[in-house]
Structure 1
Amino acid sequence: MQLHSLRELDQTEGTVQLRKVSSESGGTDSSLVLYPHPSENDPNDPLRWPIWKKHVTFGSVCAFTFLTNYAIGGLAPAFYILSLEFEKTMSETSHLLLWPILVLGIFNFFWVPIANYFGKRPVFVFASLLLCVCYIWGATAQSFESLLWSNIVAAAAGSSTEALGSAIVNDLYFVHERGSKMGVYMNSISGGNTIGPLICGFVVQSLGWRWHKWMAVIFTGINFLFVLFFVPETRYNRISQPNLSANSSSQAISSDSEEAIDVEKAAESRTKEYPGSPPSGLSPVPKKTFTQELSLWSGVPSDTNILKMFLRPFPMIAYPAVIFAFLGYAVSLAWVVSVNILNPFVLEAPPYNWQPQINGLINIPGLIGNIIGAYAGGWLVDVFCDWRTKRNHGVFEPESRLYLLIIPFLITPAGCLLFGYGVQRTMHWTTLFFGYGMISVGLTAVPTITMAYVSDCLLPVNMDALLLVNGFKNIVAFGFLYGVVPWVDDVGYIDCFGTQAGLYVAIIGIFGGLLTVFGGKLRHMSSQWHIIL
Structure 2
Amino acid sequence: MAAPMDKAEVSASEDHSQNGGSAKHEREHEEDAPPLKLDPRGLPLSPQPTDDPKDPLNWNRWLKLMVLAEVSLFSFLALFSASLITPAFVPLSIFLHKDLVTTAYVTSTFILLAGVSTIVWNPIANVYGRRPVYICTVAAAVAFCGASGAAKNYGTLIALRCLNGFFGGVPLGLGSATVCDMFFAHERGLYMGVYTISFLTGGHIAPLIGGYIEKNLSWHWCFYVPAILTGGILVIFIFTVPETLYSRTPEAVARPSQSWKSNMLMKRRAHPTRRVKLVDFFRPFQMIMYPSVLLPTWCYSISFAYGSILFIITSANLFGRIYHFQPQQTGLLLGIPITVGSLIGELFAGGISDWISEKRAIRRGGERSPEDRLLGIIPAAVLTPLGIIIEGVCLENKTHWIGVAFGIAIASFGLQVVTTGVYTYTAECYKPQSPELGSLINFGRQVYSFTIGFYSIPFSEKVGIQDAWITLAFVAFAFYLPLIPLYFKGAEWRKRLGNPTFHKDL
TM-score norm. by structure 1 comes to 0.83
Structure 2 Cα separation of the partners of residues 532 and 172 of structure 1: 16
Q: Counterpart in 1 of 2:27?
A: none
Q: Counterpart in 1 of 2:12?
A: 11
| AA partner of residue 359 (structure 2) | W
Q: Deviation of residue 453 (structure 1)?
A: 0.8
Structure 1 Cα separation of the partners of residues 280 and 156 of structure 2: 33
Structure 2 Cα separation of the partners of residues 529 and 78 of structure 1: 46
Which of the numbers 46, 58, 68 marks the counterpart of 1:35? 46
Structure 2 Cα separation of the partners of residues 212 and 517 of structure 1: 47
Which of the numbers 187, 207, 220 marks the counterpart of 1:197? 207
- CA 1:305 to 1:190, structure 2 compared with 1: closer, same or farther past 3 Å? closer
- CA 1:348 to 1:301, structure 2 compared with 1: closer, same or farther past 3 Å? same
Which of the numbers 97, 107, 113 marks the counterpart of 1:97? 107
Q: Counterpart in 2 of 1:307?
A: 278
Q: Deviations over 1:400-454 (max 9, x none)?
A: 0001211111111111111111111111101110111112123322121111111
**Higher mean C-alpha deviation, range 125-134 or range 311-320:** 311-320
- CA 1:364 to 1:314, structure 2 compared with 1: closer, same or farther past 3 Å? same
Contact 1:18 1:32 survives alignment (8 Å): no
Question: 1:47 aligned to 2:48?
Answer: no
Q: How does 1:317-356 map to 2 (within 5 A)?
A: 317-335=288-306, 336-349=308-321, 351-356=322-327
**Higher mean C-alpha deviation, range 197-206 or range 311-320:** 311-320
Q: Deviations over 1:218-264 (max 9, x none)?
A: 21111111221222211111369xxxxxxxxxxxxxxxxxxxxxxxx
Q: Deviation of residue 125 (structure 1)?
A: 0.5
- Point out where structure 2 has 5 or more consecutive residues left out of the alignment: 1-6, 15-34
| AA partner of residue 137 (structure 1) | A
Structure 1 Cα separation of the partners of residues 210 and 76 of structure 2: 14
| AA partner of residue 46 (structure 2) | Y
Question: 1:223 aligned to 2:259?
Answer: no
Which of the numbers 262, 265, 287 marks the counterpart of 1:294? 265
Contact 2:108 2:450 survives alignment (8 Å): yes
Contact 2:349 2:417 survives alignment (8 Å): yes
Contact 1:334 1:480 survives alignment (8 Å): yes
Q: Counterpart in 2 of 1:179?
A: 189
Q: Counterpart in 1 of 2:134?
A: 124
- Point out where structure 1 has 5 or more consecutive residues left out of the alignment: 1-5, 22-28, 241-277
Q: Counterpart in 1 of 2:498?
A: 527
Q: Deviation of residue 472 (structure 1)?
A: 2.4
Contact 1:117 1:306 survives alignment (8 Å): no
Which of the numbers 427, 431, 436 marks the counterpart of 1:455? 427
Which of the numbers 419, 439, 461 marks the counterpart of 2:391? 419
- CA 1:114 to 1:531, structure 2 compared with 1: closer, same or farther past 3 Å? closer
Q: Deviations over 1:56-81 (max 9, x none)?
A: 11211111111111121121101122
Question: 1:514 aligned to 2:494?
Answer: no
Contact 1:128 1:223 survives alignment (8 Å): no
Question: 1:433 aligned to 2:405?
Answer: yes
Contact 1:104 1:156 survives alignment (8 Å): yes
Structure 2 Cα separation of the partners of residues 38 and 185 of structure 1: 22
Q: How does 1:155-166 map to 2 (within 5 A)?
A: 155-166=165-176
- CA 1:529 to 1:206, structure 2 compared with 1: closer, same or farther past 3 Å? closer
Q: Deviation of residue 337 (structure 1)?
A: 0.7
Q: Deviation of residue 200 (structure 1)?
A: 0.9
Q: Deviation of residue 83 (structure 1)?
A: 1.5
State the secondary structure of the residue aligned to 2:12.
Answer: coil
Q: Which has the higher helix share?
A: 2
Structure 2 Cα separation of the partners of residues 477 and 118 of structure 1: 30
Structure 1 Cα separation of the partners of residues 448 and 138 of structure 2: 26
Q: Deviations over 1:279-330 (max 9, x none)?
A: xxx9995461335422264255535542232233322210012112221221
Structure 2 Cα separation of the partners of residues 236 and 474 of structure 1: 28
Contact 1:125 1:228 survives alignment (8 Å): yes
**Higher mean C-alpha deviation, range 216-225 or range 436-445:** 436-445
| AA partner of residue 442 (structure 2) | N
Q: How does 1:240-255 map to 2 (within 5 A)?
A: none
- CA 1:299 to 1:439, structure 2 compared with 1: closer, same or farther past 3 Å? closer
Q: Deviations over 1:201-232 (max 9, x none)?
A: 21111222222322212211111112212222
Question: 1:145 aligned to 2:155?
Answer: yes
- CA 1:528 to 1:68, structure 2 compared with 1: closer, same or farther past 3 Å? closer
Structure 1 Cα separation of the partners of residues 241 and 447 of structure 2: 29
Contact 2:349 2:421 survives alignment (8 Å): yes
| AA partner of residue 303 (structure 2) | S
Which of the numbers 160, 166, 179 marks the counterpart of 1:169? 179
Contact 2:78 2:202 survives alignment (8 Å): yes
Structure 1 Cα separation of the partners of residues 326 and 426 of structure 2: 43
| AA partner of residue 436 (structure 2) | D
Q: Counterpart in 2 of 1:246?
A: none
Q: Deviation of residue 31 (structure 1)?
A: 2.8
- CA 1:395 to 1:314, structure 2 compared with 1: closer, same or farther past 3 Å? same
Contact 1:70 1:196 survives alignment (8 Å): yes
Q: Deviation of residue 164 (structure 1)?
A: 0.9
Contact 1:98 1:482 survives alignment (8 Å): no
| AA partner of residue 289 (structure 1) | W
Say which structure, 1 or 2, has more relative contact order (CA 8 Å, 6+ apart). 1
**Higher mean C-alpha deviation, range 306-315 or range 319-328:** 306-315
Contact 1:43 1:287 survives alignment (8 Å): no
State the secondary structure of the residue aligned to 2:49.
Answer: coil
Structure 1 Cα separation of the partners of residues 212 and 122 of structure 2: 37
Structure 2 Cα separation of the partners of residues 226 and 205 of structure 1: 31
- How big is the alpha-carbon RMSD for the aligned residues of Structure 1 and Structure 2? 2.8
| AA partner of residue 466 (structure 2) | I
Contact 2:38 2:45 survives alignment (8 Å): no
Q: Deviation of residue 332 (structure 1)?
A: 1.8
Q: Deviation of residue 532 (structure 1)?
A: 8.7
| AA partner of residue 210 (structure 2) | C
Structure 1 Cα separation of the partners of residues 221 and 107 of structure 2: 18
Structure 2 Cα separation of the partners of residues 130 and 303 of structure 1: 26
Which of the numbers 153, 164, 177 marks the counterpart of 1:154? 164
- CA 1:312 to 1:12, structure 2 compared with 1: closer, same or farther past 3 Å? farther
| AA partner of residue 174 (structure 1) | F
Q: How does 1:267-286 map to 2 (within 5 A)?
A: 286=257
State the secondary structure of the residue aligned to 1:35.
Answer: coil
